């Protein structure tokens, strides 16, 4: 289901962007829809090049079209083509411990989902997220994304432990920042603060979005430090 979801979310973003490039996207700071499209076009370009060349080291995204929507459409087509033509087990460079093409399939699917939610929320449009994918985004965030970011930006390290509790089904995490990597355990336990809410709300919250469906329990200061930690 991963590639169909990616394709569907790419199509949704493109459809919503037509004629609306100047619209602010509040979940992304000062970005407009054009900025969001340009960001994704650059990411897709880089990943497509990694997959195309079976890169063993970092690559830079290629130049994109001036028009953000044209660039988004062109680069997303390239990305989907490269994903379709590679074995997920193929060794390629990534910035994480998972050095396989499958990392990028998962990463692009989850990245695109979060930004699909961003653009939908910018237009007050209904946002529907598959619950299993929302849980996977949370797992990926704490296992792969945030640890690498905090290595590069140690000043963003949160100040205490965070407990996440899904209210719409299974899913609990306790994340504790130590001197080195984050300690992540999937248990019911008390943290310095807790976020309680549906899986899709928690997914957006860990990525720094303000979500009304998420309840904060415990230290507000610790909670704010986790929101600021998001890349």
pLDDT tens for 23-78 read: 999 999 999 999 999 999 999 999 999 999 999 999 987 766 679 999 999 999 99
Per-residue confidence (pLDDT) for residue 63, from 0 to 100 = 65
pLDDT for res 180: 66
pLDDT reported for residue 60: 83
Q: How open is the CA angle 212-213-217, to the nearest 5 degrees? A: 90
Q: What is the pTM of this model?
A: 0.94
Domains, the chain, in order of start with CATH, read 2-122 (1.20.120.450), 137-229 (3.30.1050.10)
The alpha carbon dihedral of 165, 166, 169, 171 has a sign of negative
pLDDT tens string 27-36? 999 999 999 9
Res 15: pLDDT: 98
What residues of the chain score a pLDDT lower than 70? 1, 63-65, 180
């Amino acid at each position: 289901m991963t590639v169909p979801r990616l394709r569907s979310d790419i199509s949704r973003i493109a459809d919503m962007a037509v004629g609306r490039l100047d619209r602010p996207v509040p979940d992304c700071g000062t970005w407009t829809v054009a900025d969001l499209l340009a960001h994704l076009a650059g990411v897709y370009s880089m990943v497509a090049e990694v997959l195309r060349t079976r890169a063993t080291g970092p690559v830079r995204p290629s130049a994109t079209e001036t028009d953000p929507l044209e660039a988004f459409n062109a680069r997303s087509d390239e990305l989907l083509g490269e994903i379709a033509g590679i074995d997920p087990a193929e060794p390629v460079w990534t910035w994480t411990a998972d050095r396989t093409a499958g990392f990028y399939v998962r990463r692009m699917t989850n990245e695109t989902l979060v930004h699909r939610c961003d653009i939908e929320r910018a237009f007050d449009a209904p946002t529907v997220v598959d619950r299993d994918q929302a849980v996977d985004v949370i797992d990926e965030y704490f296992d792969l994304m945030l640890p690498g970011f905090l290595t590069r930006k140690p000043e963003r390290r949160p100040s205490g432990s965070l407990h996440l509790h899904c209210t719409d089904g299974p899913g609990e995490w306790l994340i504790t920042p130590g001197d080195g990597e984050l300690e992540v355990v999937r248990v019911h336990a008390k943290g310095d603060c807790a976020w309680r809410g549906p899986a899709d709300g928690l997914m957006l919250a860990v990525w720094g979005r303000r979500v009304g469906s998420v309840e904060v329990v415990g230290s507000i200061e610790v909670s704010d430090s986790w929101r600021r930690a998001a890349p």
